[in-house]
Structure formats: structure tokens, C-alpha cells
């Protein structure tokens, strides 16, 4: 039986795959970023630096879109989720801690490699009990 949180991640992965308009495609000579508004005043962003499948670094952020007037999230965490071209989650780098109550936050990840597919940043609140939103970057060789 699939756990509810795993099912939510899988459902979000399928949704991210189907919603190509929210994806940015990095090329061999460029870095990529994408943001997704989860409310009219808040967004989660994912910035990937590197080339093709090679990642130099990543940053995930959430903040308000109107002078940082977005919602406040308590016990939040930002996870990096990697999804292969078949839509299967193959790795999750969980935020090692949950944080306090904030209107904005960020998390960094260093050098790495990703399969062709999606590299995503997922925002959770309430000690990972509440999925808020995600922003995904399409990874191509």
C-alpha cells in the first residue's frame, strides 16, 4: 500500500510532467530557473546551475510575490525531488530540518548529477504534513 505522502509526491510528479508550461529547459550553455505561484501572493522557485545532466548547484526558495506579503508557513521544509523521464521519483533529498514560521525561506544543494527528466523543489509545511507547491526544471542531456 502506498503511503499518503509518497502518493502526493507521485501525483505531483505526474502533474509536473503533464504541465510543461511550468518547466524551463536548461541548455548546454545556460542555467535554468522556474517559479510557480501557489497563491496570488506567494511562490516557490527553483534555480539550477550547470550544464545538461551535470548540476553545479541548486537553490530552492519561497517568498511573497508582492513585496514579500505572501502567507507565513510554519515548520516548513524544502525538498529536492528528482523524477526520471518515465515519471518515476528516483531520489529525494529531504531538508534535514524543519524551520520556524516564515514568509520566505531558501535551501541550497551543491554539485550533483540528475537523470534526464525533472529536478524539482517541493515546499512542505507543518513538519511535512502539508504539501504546499513545487517548481520543476526539465533536465536534458
Domain boundaries, the chain: 4-139
Do 77 and 101 meet the contact criterion of CB atoms below 8 Å apart?
no
User: What tens digit of pLDDT does each residue of 42-85 get?
Assistant: 889 999 999 888 999 999 999 876 665 678 889 999 999 999 99
Query: What are residue 22's phi and psi, to 5 degrees?
Result: -95, 10
Do 49 and 63 meet the contact criterion of CB atoms below 8 Å apart?
no
d(CA 92, CA 77): 13
Contacts of residue 136, defined as CB under 8 A and 6 or more positions apart, other chains included, come to: 16, 22, 23, 34, 46, 83, 118, 119, 120, 121
As to burial, measured by CB atoms within 10 angstroms (0-12 exposed, 13-18 middle, 19+ buried), residue 77 is: buried
CATH fold of 4-139, please? Immunoglobulin-like (2.60.40)
User: Is the confidence at residue 29, as pLDDT, over 50?
Assistant: no
User: Is the confidence at residue 19, as pLDDT, over 50?
Assistant: no
User: Is the confidence at residue 31, as pLDDT, over 60?
Assistant: yes
Give the mean model confidence (pLDDT) for residues 21-33: 48
User: Is the confidence at residue 1, as pLDDT, over 90?
Assistant: no
Residue 29 DSSP label: T
User: What tens digit of pLDDT does each residue of 80-120 get?
Assistant: 999 999 999 999 999 987 788 988 899 999 998 889 999 99
Amino acid at each position: 500500500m502506498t503511503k499518503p505522502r509518497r502518493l502526493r509526491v507521485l501525483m505531483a510528479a505526474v502533474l509536473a510532467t503533464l504541465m510543461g508550461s511550468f518547466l524551463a529547459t536548461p541548455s548546454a550553455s545556460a542555467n535554468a530557473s522556474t517559479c510557480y505561484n501557489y497563491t496570488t501572493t506567494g511562490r516557490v522557485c527553483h534555480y539550477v546551475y550547470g550544464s545538461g545532466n551535470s548540476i553545479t548547484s541548486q537553490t530552492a526558495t519561497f517568498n511573497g510575490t508582492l513585496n514579500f506579503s505572501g502567507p507565513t508557513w510554519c515548520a516548513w521544509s524544502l525538498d529536492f525531488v528528482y523524477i526520471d523521464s518515465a515519471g518515476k521519483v528516483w531520489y529525494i533529498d529531504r531538508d534535514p530540518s524543519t524551520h520556524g514560521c516564515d514568509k520566505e525561506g531558501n535551501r541550497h544543494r551543491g554539485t550533483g548529477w540528475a537523470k534526464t527528466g525533472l529536478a524539482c523543489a517541493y515546499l512542505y509545511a507543518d513538519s511535512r504534513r502539508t504539501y504546499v507547491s513545487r517548481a520543476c526544471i526539465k533536465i536534458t542531456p
